[in-house]
A and B are shown apart, each in its own frame.
Chain A
């Protein structure tokens, strides 16, 4: 098999992130961003949230929750720069590196936080 670009892999991350954010982001934003701050629902206590976050399954859940959508966003921002803002082709490569690089940095930060949290 001939050498393939990394793009199929990045597209896979993009697709996975699209799926994760489509399934989970509305309910998370609705709860933590609107329902609790506006008092529409009683916010869960700190103890419960802490117990949830340190649970191994939740750690894994949160890692995927952050990792994939970051790559999803990076991918779409990259293409928006190409198609909407129509940056010169010479900037295509640097923009791709910055977008995916930022997603990777966010992923590493998430990994570190989720491994060290106690």
Chain B
């Protein structure tokens, strides 16, 4: 008989239970599979009622983030061979988010935080942007490029204890994306974003645990972005204090 591995999948069916339980499924230990393939095997061959989000299967859409043995993972990017087949893999919904059903979390708080920080290019000469191109040097591109790789998978939120402790905290990806636009030479929206982020729930709730950066499947460095953000706003504050006539 071919080798198998056990998945212990967190089930939450709000119509019948008040808290999640684990359900076991035995799946082939296929060396070409990622965790998401194993979950799809469960859904297609064993139990069609298991509910989870996924779409692209190639680490671009950011839908399939889940906890695997307590670690937040993009399940389409983690091969089964990372795990010992004699031990079960515990699959749970991303932690610190409310659970809608089984492995599906409610991401509305994240979407709201994301739109609050205005992660798009802000200029008051909007008409001009439609007609004119704004050129960037490689150095200017390099300043923010790394932070633009974020796919909004929310894995960093599941690694950030501040999100668990203070759910109002804006969180790693949203602040990093705000900083991504602050660092963009075409953008003029830094002040507007700071209006939303200059609060304990904004930038200053971050205590630099640093786990957001370690778990990011796209090698974005949200912790570094937030640190740069803090440094930048502290420097701006000092400048405006010492040179009140010098700002704008």
Pair from one complex: yes
A112 to chain B, nearest CB (A): 25
Say if the beta carbon of B53 comes within 8 Å of chain A.
no
Q: Chain A residue with minimal CB distance to B206?
A: A79
Q: Chain A residue with minimal CB distance to B204?
A: A7
Number of A-B residue pairs, CB cutoff 8 Å, is 47
Q: Chain B residue with minimal CB distance to A16?
A: B234
Give Cα A9–Cα B195 distance, bound, in whole angstroms: 16
Give Cα A92–Cα B194 distance, bound, in whole angstroms: 21
- The answer to whether B204 and A83 touch across the interface, beta carbons within 8 angstroms, is no
- The answer to whether B207 and A9 touch across the interface, beta carbons within 8 angstroms, is no
**Which one of A7, A11, A86 has the highest number of Cβ atoms from chain B below 10 Å of its Cβ?**
A7
Say if the beta carbon of B30 comes within 8 Å of chain A.
no
For B198, list chain A residues within 8 Å (CB): 4-5, 7-8
Supposing A7-B204, A82-B166, A92-B200 touch, asked if A1 and B247 sit within 8 A by C-beta, the answer is yes
Say if the beta carbon of B152 comes within 8 Å of chain A.
no
A contact residues, total (Cβ < 8 Å): 15
B contact residues, total (Cβ < 8 Å): 23
- The answer to whether A11 and B200 touch across the interface, beta carbons within 8 angstroms, is no
Say if the beta carbon of B40 comes within 8 Å of chain A.
no
Say if the beta carbon of A12 comes within 8 Å of chain B.
yes
B36 to chain A, nearest CB (A): 33
- The answer to whether B195 and A2 touch across the interface, beta carbons within 8 angstroms, is yes
For A15, list chain B residues within 8 Å (CB): 231, 234
For B231, list chain A residues within 8 Å (CB): 15
B239 to chain A, nearest CB (A): 10
Say if the beta carbon of B191 comes within 8 Å of chain A.
yes
Give chain B interface residues in 198-219, CB to chain A under 8 Å: 198-200, 204, 207
List the 3 closest A-B pairs by CB distance, nearest first.
A8-B237, A8-B234, A12-B234
